[in-house]
Amino acid sequence: MLAPVHHIIGLTTIIRERLLPVSGNVLVRVQQKVTAGEAIAEARWAREHVLLDVARLLGVSPAMADSLIKCQVDDKLAASAEIAVGRGLFPRSARAPREGRVVAVGGGQVLMEVGESKMELRAGLPGTVIQVIPTRGVVIQSHGGLVQGVWGNGRIDSGLLVNLMQTPDSALTPDRMDVSLRGSIIMGGMIRNLETLQALAELPARGLIASSIHPSLISKAREMRYPILVTDGIGSLPMNSAAYKLLSTNAKREIALNAETLDRYAGAKPEIVIPLPTSSEPPAPNDMESFAPGMQVRIRRPPAHGMIGSIVSIKPGLTALPSGLRAQAAEVKLENNETIVIPLVNMEVVG
């Protein structure tokens, strides 16, 4: 059975495709070095559309309205710009309600895009541009440590990693923070109250790496202007040992924190990149593996949620579970030396 892979690797080659959701302009070139927060592409898009029924406004037929309309597709119109004028002694007129761009004309109507916004796509990791995808984005290659998370608030930044965790089950509280942490990315453990998020915003911090976050804080976390990445889940969960060891041993290093939204279908995961020097190019990791004895796995569901273990054996056929269901399963030895039987769908390979 194919297994999803959760990457926690000390040194690897990281290749990421970074794309705009709509067509735009690419701002970098092949072989250019970029930083995590650097804008690599930009696009302009309209937040809403306005349909003007010119025929009704002028009191004429759609065919007549089409002959009176002055604008064409792609014309940019100022607010109150005249779109069409009727005929007669006291002619009616149709005007643009807001500044915008004409996207369609016909049938006596005009469709406009209004409320234009500028969107910038940031690199998300430091590295070298190895491919430019015209009008959409780039492919970036980097080398270093990689730690993937399970939740992110959609923001990107980089900075010095500071570890405030003494153990994997540490919780971060506001009294642990002072001005010496300003501009740092904080490795903080469990987040249980809003005051902690607010204290980080007031420093301000460049980012937060949390093992878990209370479900009531999710909406507020999305509003914070600094990136927040959760390594293990929602609730009160300690940080898995693999992530804790790799991050804590790289404290005081510059890291890139891309807390993008998890999308398993697109393959996007929030992640931490630890840039490291290397004399040769390390192999890139696989995103899919087949379960096999000896593999290190992470448990994705209770009762051993978040724990790391090794597959002892794959059970043949279907195994009857305590819930009464039958599923493909494996015998897994956890780090605390307990051996349990876990459905394969509740595990992911760590590597």
134-167 per-position pLDDT tens digit: 999 999 999 999 999 999 999 999 999 999 999 9
Q: Which residues of 61-77 are buried (b: 16+ CB within 10 A; e: fewer)?
A: eeebbbebbebeeebeb
Separation CA 244–CA 41 (nearest Å)? 34
Nearest to 214 by CA among 264, 151, 164, 256: 151
In this prediction, residue 293 carries a pLDDT of 94
Separation CA 280–CA 234 (nearest Å)? 38
β-sheet bridge partners, residue 320: 326
- pTM higher than 0.85 for the full model? no
In this prediction, residue 289 carries a pLDDT of 84
| Angle in degrees, CA 154, 158, 162, rounded to 5 | 110
CATH fold of 44-117: OB fold (Dihydrolipoamide Acetyltransferase, E2P) (2.40.50)
Separation CA 295–CA 1 (nearest Å)? 13
Domain segments of the chain: what residues? 7-38+123-275, 44-117, 288-350
Average pLDDT over residues 186-190: 96
Query: Using CB atoms within 10 A of its CB, is residue 137 exposed (0-12), middle (13-18) or buried (19+)?
Result: buried
Radius of gyration of the chain (CA): 27
Neighbouring C-beta atoms of residue 90, cutoff 10 Å: 5
Average pLDDT over residues 29-37: 95
Question: Tokens in use for 34?
Answer: 């970029």
Element (H, E) at 219: helix 218-223
Confidence bin at 281 (pLDDT 50/70/90): confident
Question: Tokens in use for 229?
Answer: 């990445």
Contact at 8 Å (CB) between 115 and 46?
yes
Lowest mean pLDDT among 205-209, 281-285, 309-313: 281-285
Same fold, 44-117 and 288-350: no
Instruction: Give residue-wise pLDDT tens across range 226-279.
Output: 999 999 999 999 999 999 999 999 999 999 999 998 887 777 899 999 999 887
288-350 belongs to which CATH class?
mainly beta
Per-chain mean pLDDT for the chain: 92
* DSSP code string of 250-291: TTTSEEEEE-PPPBTTTTB--EEEEE---SS-PPPPPSEEE-
Confidence bin at 123 (pLDDT 50/70/90): very high
**pLDDT at residue 284 greater than cutoff 90:** no
Q: What percent of the chain has pLDDT over 90?
A: 79
In this prediction, residue 272 carries a pLDDT of 97
CATH architecture type of domain 7-38+123-275 = 3-Layer(bba) Sandwich (3.50)
